[in-house]
Amino acid sequence: MIVPTKQKILDAAERLIAEQGYAATSLRQIIAGAGVNLAAVHYHFGSKDELLSSVIERKVGPVNEKRLALLTEYEAEAKGAPVPVEKIFDAFLTPMGKVAGTHPQFVRVMGRVVAEGMLRTVLEKNFPEVQARFFGALRRSAPKMSDEEFEARIQFMIGVVSHTMTMCGPASEGGFEARVERMIRFLSGGFLTPEGGRK
């Protein structure tokens, strides 16, 4: 079974970036792992940044489709009422958890990318519809929350998910998948906490 150069590069990049982070992984490590020439990376991908984009795009597409399908299903169940926040988080996190079961390295790559400050780029490139649909659903579930509080809580929740994606170990130790249910509860509890002053 012959593996095309392009795929060998993507596989090696995904594995090494998951283990070491993006900045800490050199192209020379990647080509050594893939058994190809340095220039092949630039021929197929153009740059290190675009190689990272390709690693993400290869697997994030199906995850996002599944997320949107689940959210659509839950919205239909709600019959016009706001979708319960637990369901919204479930629709967002479960598809990534499923992928984590079979491709734990990919999930860590996603976490690394967010943690290393490339959140905005990735979000705008691969998540525009997911972002709009999920933020909108959450907003409808908390109509009385102020805009400032809503925006702050969105950022808090991004922090929870990205940190968990980065820090979760291999599937054998539970990994991201084992944390999905706990995250759904934690995020729901935090998001639904009444706004306002403390004693």
Partner DNA sequence: GTCTATACTGAGATAGAC
Partner DNA sequence: GTCTATCTCAGTATAGAC
Q: Which residues bind DNA (CB under 7 A)?
A: 4-6, 25-29, 36-40, 42-44, 46-49
Q: Token digits for 100?
A: 């984590």
Min dist CB 2 to DNA, Å, is 10
When binding is defined by CB under 8 A, the residue of 64, 105, 141, 162 that contacts its own copies is: 162
* Segment interacting with its own copies (CB under 8 A) among 27-35, 71-79, 126-134, 188-196: 188-196
57 binds, among DNA, its own copies, none (CB under 5 to 8 A by kind): none
Distant-in-sequence, close-in-space partners of 16: CB < 8 Å, separation ≥ 6? 25, 29, 30, 33
* Cβ contact 160:187 at 8 Å: yes
State CA 78 to chain mean position distance.
26
Q: State the DSSP string of 89-119.
A: HHHHHHHHHHHHHH-HHHHHHHHHHIIIIIH
Our finding on whether 19 is near its own copies (CB under 8 A) is no
In the complex, the residues that contact its own copies under the rule CB under 8 A are 21, 23-24, 86, 112, 115-117, 149, 152-153, 155-156, 158-164, 166-167, 179, 181-193, 195-198
